[in-house]
């Protein structure tokens, strides 16, 4: 490996590549062996620690890979929060896997850019195939597929995040509406979501130029399991229409971030249809569960939606980043997002772009950016390496662990489960009314996280502070969930005794 | 490796991980050894080829990695356009390297999500350090650094693409303006760029809700080397102001996509200042060259800009995707892009977010998406592995090859170089006036690309079709550029003889 003399900088020399890469594979295999020995959340929470360890400027001369890896081990690892730790229960899982890694390595190594069909035909076609595979697995109607038994007509794309998917579909809906009412009407457009919808929806709406005063945050309640009801949306829409505003876009969530609530897709779809709104179904986390028949009912009514998205990078063993976005009308999307400058025209030969129906898709017109990564390879690798049956087992294993945790919490009278568990997210708290209870739960969470032996996050439901335990790590086994519960119990005991 | 029984799906088992990953490393090392044997542009340009080879649905059961890799070799590789081929001269280079790959593997394997400081402190701080390193290398003024000798005050972020950087800065400029004039004023905002500016600028402006009628495409001419002049922008701005419109944002490009033109940053900065516009400097491709002192003059005047971006994934040996965006006022950016929902508040302990000055940055508020990849690791690995000196040698080697090609074209009286070469992009054509000349050049490019022995793209300058040869591949050596020129000459001869 060694340092490279300047006149011999051969950045893709196969032997150096293999040697450096093998060293990284060994490093990572060792990391996975030891990851449960690190504090889950970075132990040293002093801002500026790493910055102080590193020089102000890049080195003038190159260094061997071993030395860089040694610095990663010494300086970087202790400052990381370990998302792949089996005791990481915070936020939502962000799955890594051997297959996701292998697929991503292929994509990174080939480093092709499937932004237009001609720029990498097989990469584009693999993406079209794999999004169809995923659509079938989660039981989406044919209208979201390129090739369905009913003819398809829609199609999917792999983006980096739900936020991007929301921005793209909002832009599509907006431009469709502005084509009707003129661009000055942009200040009249209104978007709808619930108080449980992910905050990035409002960020996305703001990004595409919707007036912040026109974001409707429709309240939810315990009675409906914190789901958005059709009646509440209808009331909000009718009020806006009466004031001369234009309903644009409704975001339904299957598996909200806070507590995993599920909005009724069919009911909301009917309201959206009646008022000419774009309906997007955000199944970022829970969409993975829909590969199991027992969860597909949550997507019932999806045929009334204009777009659906889910993130294989969360709970589907696909390393960051990978978000499936399916649309019923690719034309609506590309009308808002296409560009056709001279330097991208296909004058140098090859098939005309008109052949999109046959698979010659220019994905640059389906997303924000021009350039893009070959994300299809890793999702394809995951699906082939583990198979649909393996992936279902993966999902059910985590749900079973969450069920166990939920039962354990319910069986301890000091605790309560808050909001119904539907997937692998359990929301719970120490009983005790009012602000005192909240302070105690905050203390409990802080102490659990400070132990370094588990990492959880929180949410606030109807003013009450609740602790979220999201099961889903690729290395999480029953014993880790059991340890987490013991840790919570023991920490709570200490807190309660001190009072 | 083998198939995995369902009840033993252990997606991060270190031994399986190491075995599968090693197989991929061998695969890729072999690919680099053989990549010059593949047709550069995919040979089989029949849309649907791969789709027909693959089944309609995902497999039910998992398969061994070797079988998947064999299918990649047999089905996928022949359908790719090989961006890492040493004879790939199309678009702009999209560099891969052993160091970029190693860094990306670490990032993919650790799979942490540095969206908030607490979610991975060291990953966030490494990013802040490495964007400062890059800013110093390309000679940006202190105002774009977190920590400068003059105190910094600005800062940088790694995004996926220039398009994202443009969307984020447009949103920041827009919201600053709307704060002044009210949201109804969104239809009055005007953006400015040249007829050479990348098309994604208009796409970005449209995405953030700027009326398409308010995009000013200012013409350029041969006399100024196709650069945007201050006088032309001033005239456009004054006309708009007189009509009651509000100048918002001016995009200057250092190294345009079509022909590598350079807009005069200082001159445009003065116009932008006078009219209260946000100035963005897009140095996506040529920014890499600015690590060499002989190219830093092109960024002269950057202290008048509000933001600057460049893409290490193009010509800086950093595998896809990696775009540096620097802003003078992080507050303007985060005012447009921040979200602070309950489930992301740091109630579980740790330092308050107010410590951003010390490095505790919440990068989710610097970009479109909430989640994000640990991109800093690969850029850091590249800088450490090759050093600043190695990177300068990398850039100069490609420029020298482009110079050679330019001289060769100039020495052949049948050809002409069109537009001045400044970096590693040469634009040329067969002489011959009018449409006949264009048809011949189109034919020449199509034949060159169809040979599979080189891949180039084209541009149209003042109505004339020109062929673009962009040097910059990590494996491109002088002999490949020489072969490309021989191929162009021989193909031209055949064409000219046939006429």
Q: In this prediction, what percent of chain B has a pLDDT beyond 70?
A: 93
The mean pLDDT of chain A is 93
Q: What pLDDT, on the 0 to 100 scale, is given for residue A434?
A: 53
B139 with B213, same domain?
yes
B350 with B395, same domain?
no
Cβ pair B171, B327 in contact under 8 A: no
B66 with B146, same domain?
no
pLDDT (average), residues B163-176 = 98
What CATH number corresponds to the domain at position B413?
A: 3.90.1150.10
Looking at the domain assignment, is residue A291 inside a domain?
A: yes
Q: What pLDDT, on the 0 to 100 scale, is given for residue A352?
A: 40
Q: Per-residue pLDDT for B1 more than 50?
A: no
Residues of chain B in contact with residue A385, where contact means CB-CB under 8 angstroms, are 20, 62-63, 65, 68
Q: Per-residue pLDDT for B332 more than 80?
A: yes
Nearest by Cα to A225 from A405, A10, A23, A417: A417
Q: What pLDDT, on the 0 to 100 scale, is given for residue B433?
A: 58
Q: Per-residue pLDDT for A28 more than 80?
A: yes
Helices B200-207/B162-181 angle, 10° precision: 40
The residue out of B344, B373, B402 marking a domain boundary is B373
Query: Per mean pLDDT, which range of A306-310, A331-335, A350-354 is the poorest?
Result: A350-354
pLDDT classification of A358: cutoffs 50, 70, 90: low
Task: For B174-219, give the DSSP string.
Answer: HHHHHHHH-GGGGGGEEEEEETTS-THHHHHHHHTT--GGGEEEE-
B405 with B264, same domain?
no
d(CA B451, CA B39): 8
Q: Per-residue pLDDT for B284 more than 50?
A: yes
Q: Per-residue pLDDT for A87 more than 60?
A: yes
Per the DSSP assignment, residues forming a β-bridge with A251 are A280
pLDDT (average), residues A286-305 = 98
Tokens describing residue B199: 């098309």
Q: What pLDDT, on the 0 to 100 scale, is given for residue A354?
A: 39
Contact B98 A44 (CB under 8 A): no
CA atoms within 13 A on the CB side of B137: 28
Which domain, by its residues, includes B300?
112-373
Residues of chain B in contact with residue A7, where contact means CB-CB under 8 angstroms, are 393
User: How many domains does chain B divide into?
Assistant: 3
Q: Per-residue pLDDT for B351 more than 70?
A: no
Q: What pLDDT, on the 0 to 100 scale, is given for residue B339?
A: 84
Contact B348 A449 (CB under 8 A): yes
pLDDT classification of B221: cutoffs 50, 70, 90: very high
d(CA B327, CA B313): 19
pLDDT classification of B42: cutoffs 50, 70, 90: confident
For chain A, the three-class secondary structure string (H helix, E strand, C coil) is CCCCCHHHCCCCCHHHHHHHHHHHHHHHHHHHHHHHHCCCCCCCCCCCHHHHHCCCCCCCCCCCHHHHHHHHHHHHHHHCCCCCCCCECCCCCCCCCHHHHHHHHHHHHHCCCCCCHHHCHHHHHHHHHHHHHHHHHCCCCHHHCCCCCCCCCCEEEEECCHHHHHHHHHHHHHHHHHHHHCHHHHHHEEEEEECCCCCHHHHHHHHCCCCHHHEEEECCCHHHCCCCCHHHHHHHHHHHHHCCCEEEEEEEEECCCCCCCECCHHHHHHHHHHCCCEEEEECCCHHHHHHCHHHHHHHCCHHHCCEEEECHHHHCCCCCCCEEEEECCHHHHHHHHCCCCHHHCCCCCCCCHHHHHHCCCCHHHHCCCCCCCCCHHHHHHHHHHHHHHHHHHHHHHHHHHHHHHHHHHHHCCCEEECCCCCCCEEEEEECCCHHHHHHHHHHHHHHHHHCCCCECEEEEECCEEEEEEECCCCCCCHHHHHHHHHHHHHHHHHHHHHC
The residue out of B350, B373, B396 marking a domain boundary is B373
Residues of chain A in contact with residue B340, where contact means CB-CB under 8 angstroms, are 199
Looking at the domain assignment, is residue B240 inside a domain?
A: yes
Contact B342 A313 (CB under 8 A): no
Cβ pair B314, B94 in contact under 8 A: yes
pLDDT (average), residues B472-493 = 97
B457 with B340, same domain?
no
Q: What pLDDT, on the 0 to 100 scale, is given for residue B432?
A: 79
Looking at the domain assignment, is residue A285 inside a domain?
A: yes
Nearest by Cα to A175 from A206, A209, A221, A202: A209
Contact A102 B23 (CB under 8 A): yes
What residues have CB less than 8 Å from A65, skipping those under 6 apart?
A1, A19, A20, A23, A24, B99, B102, B385
The residue out of B316, B348, B373 marking a domain boundary is B373
What CATH number corresponds to the domain at position A116?
A: 3.40.640.10
Looking at the domain assignment, is residue A335 inside a domain?
A: yes
Q: Which of A1, A2, A11, A400 would best serve as a mutation to test chain B binding (most B beta carbons within 10 A)?
A: A11
- Give the burial class of B341: count Cβ atoms within 10 A of its Cβ; 0-12 exposed, 13-18 middle, 19 or more buried: middle
Q: In this prediction, what percent of chain A has a pLDDT beyond 90?
A: 88
Q: What pLDDT, on the 0 to 100 scale, is given for residue B353?
A: 41
Q: Per-residue pLDDT for B438 more than 80?
A: yes
> Which residue of chain A comes nearest to B133, CA vs CA?
A57
Residues of chain B in contact with residue A68, where contact means CB-CB under 8 angstroms, are 102, 381, 384-385
Select from B62, B91, B257 the Cβ nearest to the Cβ of A390. B62
The DSSP symbol for B455 reads: B
What residues have CB less than 8 Å from A223, skipping those under 6 apart?
none
- What backbone torsions phi and psi does residue B429 show, to the nearest 5 degrees? -160, 160
CA distances to A42, A68, A268, A494, B115 from A75, in Å: 12, 10, 50, 34, 20
Q: What pLDDT, on the 0 to 100 scale, is given for residue B44?
A: 67
d(CA A484, CA A448): 9
Q: What pLDDT, on the 0 to 100 scale, is given for residue A341?
A: 67
The CA-CA-CA angle for residues B383, B384, B390, to 5°, reads 65
B216 with B121, same domain?
yes
Cis peptide before B321 (omega within 30 of 0): yes
Looking at the domain assignment, is residue B106 inside a domain?
A: no
d(CA A396, CA A383): 16
Q: What pLDDT, on the 0 to 100 scale, is given for residue A337?
A: 95
The mean pLDDT of chain B is 93
Q: In this prediction, what percent of chain B has a pLDDT beyond 90?
A: 88
B160 with B292, same domain?
yes
User: What are A426-482's pLDDT values in tens digits?
Assistant: 999 999 755 568 999 999 999 999 999 999 999 999 889 999 999 999 999 999 999
Looking at the domain assignment, is residue A366 inside a domain?
A: yes
Q: Per-residue pLDDT for B149 more than 80?
A: no
Secondary-structure percent of chain B, ordered helix, strand, coil, rounded to 5: 50, 10, 35
Task: For B351-410, give the DSSP string.
Answer: --GGGGGGT---GGGGSS-S----THHHHHHHHHHHHHHHHHHHHHHHHHHHHHHHHHHH
Q: What pLDDT, on the 0 to 100 scale, is given for residue A348?
A: 46
Contact A41 B350 (CB under 8 A): yes
d(CA A127, CA A123): 6
Q: What pLDDT, on the 0 to 100 scale, is given for residue B345?
A: 66
Residues of chain A in contact with residue B475, where contact means CB-CB under 8 angstroms, are 10-12
The DSSP symbol for B48 reads: T
d(CA B312, CA B198): 17
pTM of the model: 0.96
B46 with B156, same domain?
no
- What backbone torsions phi and psi does residue B495 show, to the nearest 5 degrees? -65, -45
B401 with B361, same domain?
no
d(CA B391, CA B127): 19
Select from B113, B384, B442 the Cβ nearest to the Cβ of A63. B384
What 3-state DSSP class applies to B249? strand
Q: What pLDDT, on the 0 to 100 scale, is given for residue A431?
A: 93
Tokens describing residue A44: 């040293």
d(CA A122, CA A360): 10
Q: Per-residue pLDDT for A356 more than 50?
A: no
Contact B373 A321 (CB under 8 A): yes
B134 with B184, same domain?
yes
What CATH number corresponds to the domain at position B34?
A: 1.20.1340.10
Contact A98 B445 (CB under 8 A): no
Q: What pLDDT, on the 0 to 100 scale, is given for residue A498?
A: 83
B328 with B476, same domain?
no
The β-bridge relationship of strands B215-218 and B189-194 is parallel
d(CA B389, CA B379): 15
Select from B41, B106, B442 the Cβ nearest to the Cβ of A72. B106
Q: What pLDDT, on the 0 to 100 scale, is given for residue A351?
A: 41
- Count A/B contacts: CB-CB distance under 8 Å: 610
Residues of chain A in contact with residue B388, where contact means CB-CB under 8 angstroms, are 58-60
pLDDT (average), residues B405-414 = 97
Q: What pLDDT, on the 0 to 100 scale, is given for residue B152?
A: 74
The β-bridge relationship of strands B425-430 and B415-417 is antiparallel
B369 with B392, same domain?
no
pLDDT classification of A46: cutoffs 50, 70, 90: confident
pLDDT (average), residues A407-423 = 96
Chain centroid offset of residue A3 CA? 39
Nearest by Cα to A356 from A95, A197, A79, A153: A153
What 3-state DSSP class applies to B433? coil
Looking at the domain assignment, is residue B214 inside a domain?
A: yes
Q: What is the ipTM of this complex?
A: 0.95
Q: What pLDDT, on the 0 to 100 scale, is given for residue A340?
A: 73
Looking at the domain assignment, is residue A266 inside a domain?
A: yes
pLDDT classification of B355: cutoffs 50, 70, 90: very low
Residues of chain A in contact with residue B167, where contact means CB-CB under 8 angstroms, are 207, 368
């Amino acid at each position: 490996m060694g340092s490279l003399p300047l006149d011999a900088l051969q950045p893709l020399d196969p032997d150096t590549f293999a040697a450096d890469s093998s060293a990284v594979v060994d490093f990572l295999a060792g990391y996975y062996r030891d990851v449960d020995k690190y504090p889950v959340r970075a132990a040293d929470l002093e801002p500026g620690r790493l910055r102080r360890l590193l020089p102000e400027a890049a080195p003038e001369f190159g260094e061997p890979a071993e030395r860089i890896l040694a610095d990663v081990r010494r300086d970087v690892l202790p400052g990381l929060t370990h998302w792949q730790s089996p005791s990481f229960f915070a936020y939502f899982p962000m799955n890594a896997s051997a297959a996701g890694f292998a697929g991503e390595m292929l994509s990174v190594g080939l480093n092709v850019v499937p932004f237009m069909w001609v720029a990498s035909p097989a990469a584009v076609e693999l993406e079209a195939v794999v999004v169809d595979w995923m659509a079938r697995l989660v039981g989406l109607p044919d209208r979201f597929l390129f090739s369905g038994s009913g003819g398809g007509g829609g199609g999917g794309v792999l983006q980096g995040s739900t936020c991007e998917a929301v921005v793209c579909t909002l832009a599509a809906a907006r431009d469709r509406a502005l084509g009707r009412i003129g661009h000055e009407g942009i200040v009249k457009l209104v978007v709808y979501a619930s108080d449980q919808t992910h905050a990035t929806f409002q960020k996305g709406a703001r990004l595409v130029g919707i007036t912040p005063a026109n974001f409707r945050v429709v309240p939810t309640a315990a009675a409906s399991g914190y789901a958005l009801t059709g009646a509440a949306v209808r009331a909000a829409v009718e009020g806006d229409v009466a004031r001369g505003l234009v309903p644009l876009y409704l975001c339904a969530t299957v598996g909200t971030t806070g507590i995993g609530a599920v909005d009724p897709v069919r009911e909301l779809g009917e309201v959206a249809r009646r008022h000419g709104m774009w309906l997007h179904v955000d199944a970022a986390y829970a969409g993975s569960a829909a590969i199991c028949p027992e969860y597909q009912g949550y997507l019932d009514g999806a045929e009334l939606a204009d777009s659906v998205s889910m993130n294989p990078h969360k709970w589907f063993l696909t390393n960051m980043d990978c978000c499936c976005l399916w649309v019923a009308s690719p034309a609506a999307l590309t009308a808002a997002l296409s560009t056709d400058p001279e330097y991208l025209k296909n004058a140098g030969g090859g098939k005309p772009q008109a052949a999109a129906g046959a698979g010659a898709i220019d994905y640059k017109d389906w997303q924000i950016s021009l350039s893009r990564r070959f994300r299809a390879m890793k999702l394809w690798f995951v699906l082939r390496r583990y198979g649909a049956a393996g992936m279902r087992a993966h999902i059910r294993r985590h749900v079973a662990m969450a069920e166990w945790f939920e039962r354990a919490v319910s069986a301890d009278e000091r605790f309560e489960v808050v909001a119904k568990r539907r997937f692998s997210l359990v929301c719970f708290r120490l009983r005790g009314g009012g602000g005192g209870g909240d302070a105690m739960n905050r203390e409990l969470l802080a102490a659990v996280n400070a132990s370094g032996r588990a990492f959880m996050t929180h949410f606030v439901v109807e003013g009450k502070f609740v602790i979220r335990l999201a099961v889903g790590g690729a290395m999480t086994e029953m014993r880790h969930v059991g340890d987490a519960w013991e840790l919570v119990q023991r920490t709570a005991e200490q807190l309660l005794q001190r009072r």
